[in-house]
Amino acid sequence: MVEKYKLISNSLSMLVNRLAQSITAFVLTAAIARTLGAEALGQYLLAYSYYFIFVGIASQGLKVLFTRELAHEPQKTSVYLMSGTWLQLIFSFLSYGALVFVVFLLPYSSQTSTVCYIMGLTIIPFALSNVTEAIFQAKEKMHLIAIATVPVYVLRLLIMIWAMQLKYGIEYLGAILFFSETLILVIEWILITRFVKIQWQIDRILIWNIIKNARTFVAIEAMSVVSSRIQILILSLLGNEFLVGLFGGIVQLLQPFLIIANSITVAMFPRLSKVVGQGREKQQRITESFIEILLTMGLPLFLGLLFFGRDLLIFIYHPSFAQGSLALSISAVALLFLPFIRTLCYLLVANHYEIVNLREVVITTSLGSLAGVALVSQYQLQGAAIMSLLMTILGFSQYVYFTYTLLFPLNFWRIFRRPLIISTLMLVVFLILKKINLDFLLTLIIATSSYILFFVFLTIYALGGIHVVLEKFLRKV
């Protein structure tokens, strides 16, 4: 019972942390676009992309390694805390130096470069906090991560919005980000001293072993973070900050689906891992059911963005973002493939085929980058959207192929049947709403309510009808 409570508590804590991070990022993106404009948003997102890439290279691989090793050898927590912090400090300084060097060589304006330098400083406190968070995870005390981060995320958002209202520029937002991550680091160290005894010594042998063992993790994380931001980098070099702002705003509109998809697949992973030894047929049923659930959300959202994407861009951001409507429609096609990628990625890892994930991210990033240079130079914003879609299709093709060859074929009709039914119903709603041309907020409310109604009805029908559902509910009560 205690283990079950701990699992639920840790899962909820990580979900709350992830939601707080994503929601505040979404609100901040909209606030920057509305207050400072698309070009300022482009500067912020470009600087954040460089920070995200270099902090990922410096810390994410080590965090995974620390968590795994401490879960096996908890008695070494004190040694890992100090030695890991020292190693992470060295890596973060090297990573920040590399960021400054790269940005200095690239043809950005002095203001954009300054924003990158300031925001890049955040690499240091964030990388150091990864050591404490790895310990929290290994000790199954994830609630402490939420305690340290969520209030700071909310406070940071409020301060940033207040600073923009006072006409402070993007460089001040970068400084606020740095100080907020430093505050999180301080809070986490205060919390960790409650159950870890600090030993002020550095184990050089341990540090060397960590460096050797972390190579694979660092390679995977480095390729992953580059892959996730490569469109923005290419667009910034072959386009300008204004186009980066438009593209960043488009990407943010897909984040709610990605948050839900990530939460569902993370929750699915332990279940998939447990049934690995119970036969391929059971794995296939679970995999197909989760893809179906995600498509039931993704396919109607894709149709909604095709009909009302332009209105949504104007509603959330600014009328200047309306020119990104075609790029949004192109990017939205990825919603048809992402359910497969998110689910099959975890399926292959559960079956110990994680090498496929590394191979996929290398191939997708390499080919996508080459195609992206040609596409963005020719078509600018639309080229970045096409590049993003091509990379999604590349990932989808590889995951489906390796699932078919290594595990089992997918029954596509069984996967698409219910998503197609609910999407057809929503298509009728969208056509009616487009015809009568209501206020967009009212349109959004009606469309969302209709989707919930159709989803509930279809779920009840799939479970055997209202009488069966009521009977099951009454039995549990």
Residue 449: which domain range? 422-476
In a domain, 294, yes or no: no
Predicted pLDDT at 445:
92
In a domain, 246, yes or no: no
Q: What average pLDDT does the segment 394-414 reach?
A: 92
Predicted pLDDT at 476:
52
Highest average pLDDT, of 33-37, 277-281, 473-477, comes from 33-37
Q: Which two tokens stand for residue 146?
A: 């939420």
Instruction: Please give the single-letter amino acid code of residue 400.
Output: V
Contact (CB, 8 A) for 181 and 127 = no
Instruction: Flag the least confident range among 73-87, 116-130, 344-358, 398-412.
Output: 73-87
199 sits in the region (left: phi over 0; alpha: psi -120 to 50; else beta) called beta
Q: Is the torsion defined by CA of 102, 106, 111, 112 positive or negative?
A: negative
Contact (CB, 8 A) for 145 and 133 = yes
In a domain, 223, yes or no: yes
Predicted pLDDT at 255:
81
Instruction: Flag the least confident range among 67-71, 182-186, 252-256, 386-390.
Output: 67-71
- Categorize the per-residue pLDDT at 215 as very low, low, confident or very high, splitting at 50, 70 and 90: low
Q: Which two tokens stand for residue 156?
A: 């940071």
Strands (E), 257-339: none
Structural domain count, the chain:
2
Residues 6 or more apart whose CB falls under 8 angstroms from that of 176 comprise 156, 159, 160, 163
Environment class of 129 (CB within 10 Å of its CB; exposed 0-12, middle 13-18, buried 19+): buried
Q: What average pLDDT does the segment 266-293 reach?
A: 79
pLDDT, tens only, 133-178: 877 777 767 778 888 888 999 999 999 999 999 989 899 999 999 9
Contact (CB, 8 A) for 52 and 174 = no
Locate tokens 């059971």: which residue? Answer: 282
Q: What average pLDDT does the segment 368-391 reach?
A: 91
Predicted pLDDT at 70:
63
Q: Which two tokens stand for residue 43?
A: 């500067």
- Tell me which of 97 and 262 has the higher pLDDT: 97
- Tell me which of 197 and 118 has the higher pLDDT: 118
Look at residue 406 and tell me whether its pLDDT is greater than 70: yes
Boundary residue ending a domain (239, 255, 275): 239
Predicted pLDDT at 283:
87
Boundary residue ending a domain (173, 208, 239): 239
pLDDT, tens only, 65-115: 666 666 666 776 777 777 778 888 888 899 999 999 999 999 898 999 999
Instruction: Flag the least confident range among 305-309, 441-445, 453-457.
Output: 453-457
Contact (CB, 8 A) for 61 and 84 = no
In a domain, 204, yes or no: yes
Percent of residues, the chain, with pLDDT higher than 70? 82
- Tell me which of 212 and 131 has the higher pLDDT: 131
In a domain, 468, yes or no: yes
Percent of residues, the chain, with pLDDT higher than 90? 35
Q: Is the torsion defined by CA of 330, 335, 337, 342 positive or negative?
A: positive
Predicted pLDDT at 354:
74
- Categorize the per-residue pLDDT at 390 as very low, low, confident or very high, splitting at 50, 70 and 90: very high
Chain centroid, CA 289 distance in Å: 22
Q: What average pLDDT does the segment 359-381 reach?
A: 89
Highest average pLDDT, of 74-78, 269-273, 452-456, comes from 452-456
Boundary residue ending a domain (206, 239, 272): 239
Q: DSSP secondary structure string, 440-458? A: HHHHHHHHHHHHHHHHHHH
In a domain, 305, yes or no: no
Contact (CB, 8 A) for 149 and 184 = yes
Look at residue 196 and tell me whether its pLDDT is greater than 50: yes
Q: Which one, of 350, 205, 202, 332, lies nearest residue 277 by Cα?
A: 350
In a domain, 147, yes or no: yes
Environment class of 369 (CB within 10 Å of its CB; exposed 0-12, middle 13-18, buried 19+): middle
Contact (CB, 8 A) for 307 and 434 = yes
What's the longest Cα–Cα distance across the chain?
A: 71
Chain centroid, CA 1 distance in Å: 32
pLDDT, tens only, 331-342: 999 999 999 998
Question: CA dihedral in degrees (344, 341, 361, 80; nearest 10)?
Answer: -60
In a domain, 412, yes or no: no
pLDDT, tens only, 18-56: 778 888 888 998 899 888 888 898 999 999 989 988 888
Predicted pLDDT at 469:
47
Q: Which two tokens stand for residue 208?
A: 């060397």
Q: How many other CB atoms sit within 10 Å of the CB of residue 477?
A: 5
- Categorize the per-residue pLDDT at 185 as very low, low, confident or very high, splitting at 50, 70 and 90: very high
Environment class of 252 (CB within 10 Å of its CB; exposed 0-12, middle 13-18, buried 19+): buried
Instruction: Please give the single-letter amino acid code of residue 15.
Output: L
List Cα–Cα distances, 261 to 223, 274, 303, 430, in angstroms. 21, 20, 18, 24
Instruction: Flag the least confident range among 182-191, 319-328, 351-360.
Output: 351-360
Predicted pLDDT at 432:
94
pTM tops 0.85, yes or no: no
